[in-house]
Structure 1
Amino acid sequence: MSADAEMSRYVVEGRPLTSGADRRAIAVYLAADCGGVVHRLTLARHGIDRFGVRNEVAAGRWFKVGRHTVAVGSPELSPIALRWRAVWESGSGSRLDGVSALLAGGMTGFTSPVIDVSLPARNRHHRVEGVRLHLPRAPAPVATSGIPRVAVEVATIHAAQWAASHRQATLLICLPLQQRLTTPTRVELVWRGVERSTRHTFLSAVIGDVTNGAHSLGELDFARMARRAGLPEPTRQAVRQGPNGRVYLDVAWDDVGLVVEIDGGHHALALNPVDDALRQNDRVVAGENVIRIPVLGLRLKPTAFMRQVRRAYDRLCRC
């Protein structure tokens, strides 16, 4: 017998389920997709009224973990259960947003101590432990079935805006793209619609970096950094002859044989590292010295990377 057929044996619309075994069976079924929790209204629609809930709670089999949320079997809530509780308890129209929406959508490699929830500012809302509320006038629409949450590209932009630091914001832009949860084009389109942000200039640069690669730095930016580090003017887009034809290098000081390759955000994806390694090795075999710098590194730690370039240049000058 299928799970749905088994379920139908217990459903009696509008009539309380008097059997404790029936109550528990249906509650387990309903809570399965929500990490072990279920909304009181969902229980009521399936014949489990407030008296049935009260009896199970009194017996220590169910646990009230909010005004609307009932935990079935254990009061210890899983991450999935905590997200459902956050949405149910925060107010009408709640949806996961920011990092929480990304995690619910499958992002890995990041954890958050709070759950981000957004809902319309005009709606009645409730403070919930462990939940950070955002109350925009017009929140982004719910973009998926399952737990209510905003679209990945919207969540990506919000997560970066709400991040604790520039470094964390950069990571939260990169992770969804590297894990193929959304595309650079979609992220860029959402960002274009953002008029105000406390880190607007920084995020504009980073989003340009991960969508357009090293070219987003602008032709004169690296030269300006080099001058600031006390280096002479480099050659940009220097041309070399490789085994398979012409190779264009980002920056070079031909007088000392120093090459700097600036890797855009796309370089960590797919087969790009293979092509990058082949190109770098060709230059080393040809007798040049190559320094690789991720473009995001120039955004986050420009002084440290340029100090390395300066040390390499000075060493080669002494040779």
Structure 2
Amino acid sequence: MNSEIEALARRQSGMIARRQLTARGMGWNAVDRHIAAGRWKARSPRVISTFTGELTVDQQRWLGVLHAGPRSLVGGLTAGARHGLVGWERSTVTVVVDDELAFEPVPGIRFFRSRRPFDLLASPRAGVPSCHLEPALLLWAAYDAPLRPAHGVLAAAVQQHLTTADRLLEWIQVLKPLRRAPAFREMMRDVEGGVRSGAERDVLRMCRRYGVPEPDLQTPRLDADGRRRWTDCEWRLPDGTSLVLEVDGSFHMEAGQWAADLRRSRRLTVPGRLIVRATAFEVRHEPQEVARDLFTLGLLAHAA
């Protein structure tokens, strides 16, 4: 392996496309000899690795873009993770291409076709070619995601300080026509007001629909052990009591997380602070029931 190929392999985490080797003077027969000798391994009809072990996350991303060709970028939640988004990781790598039928499928790689200019989408960040964070998430939210995750991922990106509502609004304009754009613009107003999750946005929608006073979101509190926690939604009742609504998402169904959340609620409960819980499903699909319970606990008098 000559020095130019060695340098290329280092830049691409040990992954090389056959076309790249051919351009550097190594024909397919020479490549196949390395594979037969057990030094290299074919990862797809178009991509080989200069090692034979399991692929890392980064190498799996390189496999996707090298297989798809020069006009490809990691996108969707894969690009989100590469830009630092936490909590939305997926095992399947998403690669944005301009023609999804131009090459063979690869296990673990999902190809997403976009006709938008790749020069517009491409991030200048070094390493595996990737979309900018904002168009990657907006395209995923518009065309791949169910409605709740679509809103949740955009709120999460702002919450994690990876982007801003203003930047997302700019990209919504750049990407037009974009499916769900009006709903995304509306959501950005909530995000600017402090909404950090899809569940919080559903709470605000419930408040506006049923006349519930809008709560303070993510209020910092010290628990019984002196650790700082944040309550999801909090109201001050006329008698001075704090009414706290904690919204459990679907991930709370895991037993260990559920037990930890119950412990958290106990330790946040002190005289003058009343904590109640609801599921994200209830807040979204049965908001009238949640609103009625909140009124019963004192918010009706507070609203008046």
- Counterpart amino acid of residue 134 in structure 1: F
Task: Please list, as runs of the form range in 1=range in 2, the aligned pairs for 1:289-300 lying within 5 A after superposition.
Answer: none
Distance 1:314 1:181 in 2: 36
- Counterpart amino acid of residue 291 in structure 2: M
Q: State TM-score, norm by structure 1.
A: 0.61
TM superposition shift of 1:169? 1.9
Distance 2:213 2:23 in 1: 71
Q: How many residues align?
A: 252
- Counterpart amino acid of residue 54 in structure 1: D
1:172 and 2:153 equivalent? yes
Distance 2:214 2:145 in 1: 37
Distance 2:122 2:50 in 1: 27
TM superposition shift of 1:259? 6.4
1:142 corresponds to which residue? Answer: 122
Distance 2:215 2:151 in 1: 26
Q: Is the CA contact 2:17–2:67 (under 8 Å) kept in the aligned structure 1?
A: no
Q: Is the CA contact 1:100–1:115 (under 8 Å) kept in the aligned structure 2?
A: yes
Q: State TM-score, norm by structure 2.
A: 0.63
User: Unaligned stretches of 5+ in structure 2?
Assistant: 217-233, 247-267
Q: 2:186 aligns with which of 195, 205, 213?
A: 205
Q: Deviations over 1:23-77 (max 9, x none)?
A: 2876554323323211223334544333321211111111112233111111532
Task: Please list, as runs of the form range in 1=range in 2, the aligned pairs for 1:45-194 lying within 5 A after superposition.
Answer: 45-74=23-52, 76-121=54-99, 125-129=102-106, 130-139=108-117, 140-144=120-124, 145-194=126-175
- Counterpart amino acid of residue 123 in structure 2: A
Q: 2:210 aligns with which of 218, 226, 231?
A: 226
Distance 1:69 1:115 in 2: 16
User: Unaligned stretches of 5+ in structure 1?
Assistant: 1-22, 228-232, 238-249, 264-280
Q: 1:174 to 1:163 in 2, by over 3 A?
A: farther
RMSD: 4.4
Q: Secondary structure at the match of 1:70?
A: strand
Q: 1:153 to 1:147 in 2, by over 3 A?
A: same
Return the index of the structure with the highest Cα Rg. Answer: 1
